[in-house]
Amino acid sequence: MNRRVISRGRRVVGVGAVLVIVACFLPWFRVGGDLGGLPAISSNALAGNQYFGAGIVVFVAALAGLALLALPFAAGAQPLALDRPASFILAAGVGLVAYLACLVQLALNGALLQGTRPLFLPDRAPGLWLAALGVLIMAWGAWQTLSERVGW
């Protein structure tokens, strides 16, 4: 039985992917909820409304990062063409571009500002901030996979 050693870059990608997956279930913006005001309305990346078409792509990119992490263990001793640094870079790049697209969608739809009041602060949008951190950690880990030695 062969034991595959997980390199540092792959572990970092895994941590970032888990952060992104958790962030997708947290609110990405919240409106209302003030004392004496309207009830709070919040939405996360998987809500399926007009704000988050690309939020699902961020979620899928994080799942792809975790799948790439588990792939060598599922394949056993057999080397796979998909188990390369380019695959990790592609997953992290897609996640980063989709996250930026989410920010653009939110800005264009006015979900980041309500009048002069910002709705994207960490107390109102913890998922948005945690997803940013997770996507950046995924990108950093994917970059580190470039310097890893291929092999067992």
Domain boundaries in the chain?
Answer: 8-32+39-147
| H helices present in the chain, as ranges | 8-23, 55-75, 85-108, 126-144
Burial class (CB in 10 A: 0-12, 13-18, 19+), 100: middle
89 with 7: CB under 8 angstroms?
no
CA 55 to chain centre: 9
Question: Cα separation of 112 and 6, whole Å?
Answer: 39
Q: What is the pLDDT along the chain (152 residues), one digit of tens a residue?
A: 445 678 889 999 999 999 999 998 888 776 666 666 666 666 666 666 555 678 888 999 999 999 999 888 887 777 777 888 899 999 999 999 999 998 888 777 776 666 666 667 777 788 889 999 999 999 999 999 988 765 54
Tokens of 48: 């399926």
Q: What per-residue confidence (pLDDT) applies to 89?
A: 94
Tokens of 67: 């799948």
Contacts of 5 (CB under 8 A, 6+ apart): 152
Domain covering 8-32+39-147, topology:
Four Helix Bundle (Hemerythrin (Met), subunit A) (1.20.120)
Q: What per-residue confidence (pLDDT) applies to 119?
A: 67
Strand partners, 117: 114
Q: Which residue has the tokens 């572990």?
A: 11
Question: Cα separation of 148 and 143, whole Å?
Answer: 10
